[in-house]
Amino acid sequence: MGEPQPPQSPKPENPNPIPPQNNDGDSSSVSGSIVSSTTIEAPRFTELSNVSSPPSKIPLRPRKIRKLSPNNNDGATPQRPSPKFKPSQPPRIHAKSLTFEGELEAAITHLRSVDPLLSSLIDTHPPPKYETFNTPFLALIRSILYQQLAAKAGNSIYTRFVSLCGGENGVVPENVLPLTPQELRQIGVSGRKASYLHDLARKYQNGILSDSAILSMDDKSLFTMLTMVNGIGSWSVHMFMINSLHRPDVLPVNDLGVRKGVQMLYDLPEVPRPSQMEGICEKWRPYRSVGSWYMWRLIEAKGTPSNAAAAVSSGADLAFQQLDDIQHQQQQSQLMDPLSVFSIGAWGQT
């Protein structure tokens, strides 16, 4: 009898057995579990591990949203630049009103220093005084009512209109709009002027204009907005800006009185055209309103008529004026003198 063999310990189970290669392709001797876990998965894992992943086709987001400074070479994350004001859009700074303390004195000092001829004229006249109205709306209403009227007739119609509204404090868009052309005609307001009054009140009611907006607008914007109102032309806007808002740098280039005064002051051979006025009076900036006031005083002292009829008879060129200005100035020949604008606060033209 042979010697008994010692019992063999069971072989430890290989957790990841690798099956022997089978050259005949027969895998029937291998259990299904081994086939599924080793024969298929292991080669697939090996195959995938040997293949490099393709490069990403999506660009890095930082390259799209970050703007690197050309001097930033240290690789640090650049900081977002602080916002800056664009030079083309500076903050608006409005000039002080001529009624602001010391502003009129500064204007006169400036005009004396830049224009010796005007300085001599300043010595012969007292400084200007500017009339104040309750509200811009009331001043514009008054401007329309006084168009093409002599001072006495304008005062009479204005007084009746104020009574119709219940006093000057009652001259507001809400009270002007309900007034019919028939009611206005009874106090001497023509049908055309009635349409002008209603157009102004309607633009206030619709929010296109307001007293607060008018007070805060710069000169150029204000001119554009007010000339949108039917019946208000460049002359009326300039007079409104000087006499009611007391803007310091307004040059009424279409005013025949100012043009005639410039001709007399500088001994020009003819009345300057509106297109020439800007260049001639450039030295008066930023107080051209005060310089214009002294031009009225000059022709008033000389006794020179300043209405459109005198300009036409002297051969002045009116081709550069707006059509509505031409028509109203021609009708003005027997009516209100523009020089009276500062003494009675009425404009009388558009």
The pLDDT of residue 33 is 43
Could you tell me which of 43, 34, 40 has the C-alpha nearest to residue 16?
A: 34
The pLDDT of residue 202 is 98
The pLDDT of residue 208 is 97
The pLDDT of residue 341 is 37
Low-confidence ranges of the chain (pLDDT < 50): 1, 22-49, 51, 83-93, 305-350
This prediction has a pTM of: 0.64
Give the list of residues 6+ apart from residue 194 with CB closer than 8 angstroms, or none: 179, 181, 184, 185
Q: What is the distance, to the nearest Å, from the Cα of residue 187 to the centroid of all Cα atoms in its chain?
A: 38
The pLDDT of residue 134 is 75
Give the list of residues 6+ apart from residue 153 with CB closer than 8 angstroms, or none: 188
User: pLDDT digit string (tens) for 302-314?
Assistant: 875 444 333 323 3
> Residue 69's CB: how many other CB atoms inside 10 A?
9
Query: Residues 254, 322: contact at Cβ < 8 Å?
Result: yes
The pLDDT of residue 195 is 98
Dihedral of the alpha carbons of 306, 308, 310, 311, in degrees to the nearest 10: 100
The pLDDT of residue 280 is 97
